[in-house]
Structure 1
């Protein structure tokens, strides 16, 4: 029998706002938590000092539980020859804006696996929930965080990853379907990916995993929440649904793409960051990912190049190389304040009961 997730977390509604880096903010997380759901912040791209400030900012606006997400990818292995070849591939795109590629690339985000300071920060701050994306941390870290009373989530894209997480002592599995926006949470990006849709993944995990399951991917309204619960989920994690909220940090061009909606589509690509991720297709997807491109640098080294190219383009008023993460249902995102959106989602869910 799975534990009651809502009671475990002391939340009212089975809605978890996804910690999408570049979109989630302390204001968004606090508003979602104040509405009775579970807000989230992403600190995988932050230093420990920035993470501490973000946690403090959430706590300024809510005393309710919230989630802090970290990245647990294998630390990058620098390969200067591979990185130089990738920059040379991108050189014509930089030239469009009178710019040169950077002389070298760097590992712009530090993995939690190699960040003892971030681990100590989480032990000190003790947020209600800590979630892992891209894999599991060291067992000693899992044990210490649990001993501190922190509920631990891990993203899983397959039954094997879910069972591995359960065996490690994780409390909750976020079952991420192929529809989800942003990065796939797969433990090994080089391993075969069954690319299961969210509800198919839930069916595969139900009955084989004893932990609570959180459905993630393609869930944009209350009807989809209800369907997820009927498929065995205890809660849902929604990222794209919150992108258009005024509290999110999505820039104007990202919001404009959402407004265009049906005229656009999403795809999965590794050419932006070095790991598979779903976003709204633009020239960065099509040109950087054109057939014949050289091997990619490791994540997140490849992301350093994409960010430099976007900076060169945006300095000339061009957003063709912007990164706009979003799931398959991104066009359904509503421009409502987060607290109001949670209320609407809950009411839609009740109407379909």
Structure 2
């Protein structure tokens, strides 16, 4: 049986704020696995997009949630962050929030989201930033839901394998959006855990008897072919689908990812409070300043980040948005999702044929 019930080894990453029911359904209808990012939603909002997706496809699709450690408020750190951002808000005739809120509820404490999943029974649920409790995993399994989760190193992959996760997403350092690290105190961008997609994919595939999904920096069929050659059963593409016509991105994000700006990406915690790879923009440059104070906890930092983006955007400046993108973002193409899947499959077949030709000539 094909991995996760799909006929093509292509998974559209569930980037919150980008994915839509139309996008997920289009990818699934084309033979890949479409995905919804509901980590920024409450249970009612997630139920709505699940039902909208079901109305558009009878194929499997994935629903992704965040399993981060709930934020620990620190009034001094939060005030310092707000005060530091205040002059930037003033440039756009606005004021920062007086207090930062935990705008997203982690799935590990979101009983309403779990209850909704058990009622709606989406085909697949995936986890980012870690795992929920064993009891939650077992409840989802009993509901017939397939479970997948991301790992950024071998220790995390071991935890996923021990928990009986059905497939592991090997998220390399090249990936756009939030790093899926379980422990944000590990500083993985500065040590040996900052593994690239291909190294991580090969390591996990060689050590665990669990299907592997390669993710990070894969933008075309040649990249998918390389991931499959290293032992992955599928490739997860996020940035490649960002400029698809079905996504919910704003015009500034679309312009950036389809321009030369996409050639420069950087990991930053300034936007949300967690390391995430974005196109270099005004916000990432702000966060890189030497005088930047310590970020408030995730997702409380994001409360200020979203407010700053809204204030600047109202004045025609889009450079404070969360313009998540992987290192190969310059290869992005603006296409309907089904057309992109078809093109990826053609490129994949051409790449495999080329490798077979090369192998034959080498004999």
TM-score range, shorter chain: over 0.9
Q: Is the 8 A contact 1:73 1:135 kept in 2?
A: yes
Cα RMSD of the aligned pairs, angstroms, is 1.1
For structure 1, the residue ranges without an aligned partner over 5 or more in a row are: 1-5
> Does residue 1:22 correspond to 2:50, yes or no?
no
Corresponding position of 1:317: 316
Whether contact under 8 Å (1:265, 1:281) holds in the other structure is yes
Distance (Å, rounded) in 1 between the aligned partners of 2:135 and 2:25: 30
1:153 aligns with 2:152: no
The answer as to whether partners of 1:243 and 1:250 remain within 8 angstroms in 2 is yes
* 283-292 or 266-275, larger mean C-alpha shift: 283-292
Report the equivalent of 1:139: 134
Q: Is the Cα–Cα contact under 8 Å of residues 258 and 333 in structure 2 kept in the other structure?
A: no
Matches within 5 A, 1:244-255: 244-255=243-254
CA distance in 1, matches of 2:261, 2:107: 37
User: Which residue of structure 2 aligns with residue 120 of structure 1?
Assistant: 115
From the two aligned structures, give the one with the greater helix fraction.
2
Residue matched to 2:41 = 46
1:223 offset after TM fit, Å?
Answer: 0.6
Equivalent pairs, count: 348
Deviations 1:131-151 (A, max 9, x none): 000001011001111121111
Q: Of 168, 176, 182, which residue of structure 1 is paired with 2:163?
A: 168
Residue 3 (structure 1) aligns with: none
State the partner residue of 1:7: 2
Counterpart for residue 328 of structure 1 = 327
Q: CA deviation at 1:8?
A: 4.4
Task: Give the Cα–Cα distance (whole angstroms) in 2 for the partners of residues 90 and 186 of structure 1.
Answer: 27
Q: Deviations over 1:242-282 (max 9, x none)?
A: 01110011111111112213674100001111100001111
Deviation, 1:128, is: 1.1
SS in structure 2 opposite 1:302? helix
Report the Cα distance in structure 2 between the residues aligned to 1:307 and 1:207, rounded to whole angstroms. Answer: 41
Contact 1:142–1:169 (8 Å) recurs in 2: no
Cα distance per residue 1:86-113 (max 9 Å; x no partner): 0011111111112221111100000001
Aligned mates of 1:343, 1:222 — CA distance in 2? 10
> What is the match of residue 286 of structure 1?
285
Deviations 1:67-125 (A, max 9, x none): 00000000011111110110011111111112221111100000001100100111111
| Residues 130, 150 of structure 2: 8 Å contact kept | yes
Residues 86, 174 of structure 1: alpha-carbon distance in 2 compared, 3 angstrom cutoff: same
Instruction: Report what 1:305 is aligned to.
Output: 304
Give the TM-score normalised by structure 1.
Answer: 0.96
**Which residue in 2 is equivalent to 1:274?**
273
Aligned ranges for residues 64-213 of structure 1 at < 5 Å?
64-193=59-188, 194-213=193-212
What is residue 238 of structure 1 aligned with on the other side? 237
Give the TM-score, by structure 2 length.
Answer: 0.94
Q: Is the 8 A contact 2:266 2:279 kept in 1?
A: yes
